[in-house]
Amino acid sequence: MTTSSSLPQGEAKEGGRPKNDIVTVASRFGALIFLIILCVVFAVLEPAFISERNIFNVLRQVSIYGLLAIGMTFVILTGGIDLSIGSLLALAGLVGAAVYKGGTGLLSAGTAGQANGFGLPAAIAAAIAVGLIGGALQGTAVAKLKVPAFIVTLGGLSVFRGLALVFSSGQPISTFPPEYTYLGQGLIGPVPIPVIFFVTFAIIAHIVLRYMRYGRHIYAIGGNQEASRLSGLNVGRLTLSVYLITGFFAGFSGFLLSSRLNSAEVIAGAGYELTVIAGVVIGGTSLFGGEGSIFGTVIGIVLIGVLNNGLTLLNVSPYYQQVIIGLIIVLAVYLDQLIKRRRR
């Protein structure tokens, strides 16, 4: 028997035919349409916006947010949330930088500690390990202890930031050689390396969610967790896995941000969670789980980057930028709820 659930996302069946109305179209393609309109408007108002240098600058700026948003998409697809990624990023970046320098003494003093450091691979591995441990702890609390994800990760936001302060005594770790900063600041041709990482991981995540069994299970859990459990899925293990994924991206992004800025700081990643969640939601991923895509997340993150960059070029106050992004988030969630009501 064919039901409306067998239709493509965002289509409702009426009189035996799929129906696309303006709300459905806006829900599915609104972010992409708005992104195109923004680019055209900014290009007309400020020709420098479409210069090659500015385009790659925008992509470089959104790459860290984009990597975090890939992990966040997995979590939100299951109906969860992770408010701690910014704090975990800061802690991971500090640990990775300290491993590279070989200790926490004289962290900001020129080349101090580098001779006794453990090298770049160890630094990257340490940052990722911190992210995975943080993700594992939070995933266990959510999946096994049944503590709401909002509460667990809200606590993690404070805990990881506090650990970062304790670890570094509130001091930054800075001044690295070119070997360390190359991955964050270097180019391959005209393309910044962080952008290459972002695009590569986005493609991998898209393949996993769209074409692999694991991806189908993630969507199933977000659609109906109890039905997924009754059908034989290990909901606890799958839930744990998505927090490991977001932990991995927080760890790797922590290293990449310190490489780009030539400094690992306690305040790194502050407020990133809001921008990342905004990008995921604007891109069409439902906060209630079960619907969304990596492609939409990429569009949502790039849209925020273009909006901020264009408004900055037009000398619009950053305070207004936050207001505009907040309104877009509310509109995106409203459209998501409206679509769900129409389907029911």
- pLDDT per residue as tens digits for the range 7-64: 334 344 444 444 556 666 666 777 888 899 989 999 999 999 999 999 999 999 999 9
Average pLDDT, the chain: 87
Comparing 78 with 341, the larger pLDDT belongs to 78
pLDDT for 114 beyond 60: no
Residues 34 and 37: their CA atoms lie apart, in Å, by 5
Q: Helix (H, G, I), strand (E, B), or coil: what is residue 310?
A: helix
Q: Tokens 């409702």 identify what position?
A: 12
CA distances from residue 273 to 100, 223, 332 in whole angstroms, order as listed = 26, 24, 17
Which residue range(s) make up the domain with 133? 4-343
Q: Helix (H, G, I), strand (E, B), or coil: what is residue 72?
A: helix
Number of folded domains in the chain?
Answer: 1
pLDDT of 117 reads 82
Domain containing 289 — which CATH number?
Answer: 1.10.3470
pLDDT of 322 reads 79
Mean pLDDT of all residues in 85-100: 96
Comparing 318 with 182, the larger pLDDT belongs to 182
R_g over Cα of the chain: 21
pLDDT of 10 reads 38
pLDDT of 28 reads 72
Residues 222 and 112: their CA atoms lie apart, in Å, by 49
pLDDT single digits (tens) 179-199? 999 999 999 999 999 999 999
Q: Is 276 exposed, middle or buried (0-12, 13-18, 19+ CB in 10 A)?
A: buried
Closest CA to 87 of 265, 279, 326: 265
The stretches of the chain forming alpha helices (DSSP H) are 22-45, 52-77, 85-101, 120-143, 149-168, 178-185, 193-211, 213-223, 225-230, 235-261, 272-282, 294-313, 318-343
pLDDT of 326 reads 80
pLDDT of 320 reads 82
pLDDT for 212 beyond 70: yes
pTM: 0.88
pLDDT of 30 reads 77
Q: Helix (H, G, I), strand (E, B), or coil: what is residue 187?
A: strand
Residues 12 and 302: their CA atoms lie apart, in Å, by 29
141 in Cβ contact with 240 (< 8 Å): no
Phi-psi sector, 189: left (phi>0), alpha (psi -120 to 50), beta: left
Residues 80 and 288: their CA atoms lie apart, in Å, by 8
pLDDT of 2 reads 38
Tokens of 213: 């069994």
- Spatial neighbors of 142 by CB under 8 A, at least 6 apart, are 80, 148, 149, 152, 239, 240, 243
pLDDT single digits (tens) 221-232? 999 999 999 999
pLDDT for 343 beyond 90: no
71 in Cβ contact with 78 (< 8 Å): no
